[in-house]
Amino acid sequence: MKNSLMHKMSYYRFDEIMGGKGFDRVRKQKLPSSVTLDNFEEAYTTENWLVRVYKVKDLDNFGRSHHAIAKF
């Protein structure tokens, strides 16, 4: 589950808001501190983070994959 796309999108940039101290009270677990998205970018997030919209990143002009660009 922690490697699923839905989980990554839910907790993307969450540590920036919570200062790296996020905690899931229901599951009694610390939230992931570093979630990266290679193929998507955040397009819109509501003030209370109830709705988050993502868009697929555009292709690279040099033909590189999104994963290779993120490593660069």
Q: Which residue has the tokens 């790296």?
A: 20
**Residue 19 identity:** G
How many other CB atoms are there within 10 angstroms of residue 12's CB atom?
Answer: 19
pLDDT in tens, the chain (72 residues): 667 888 788 878 877 777 767 777 777 777 766 777 878 889 999 988 889 999 998 877 777 777 777 776
Tell me if the pTM is above 0.85.
Answer: no
The whole-angstrom separation of Cα 9 and Cα 28 is: 20
- 15: number of CA atoms within 13 Å, CB side? 10
**What are the domain boundaries of the chain?**
5-71
The whole-angstrom separation of Cα 66 and Cα 71 is: 9
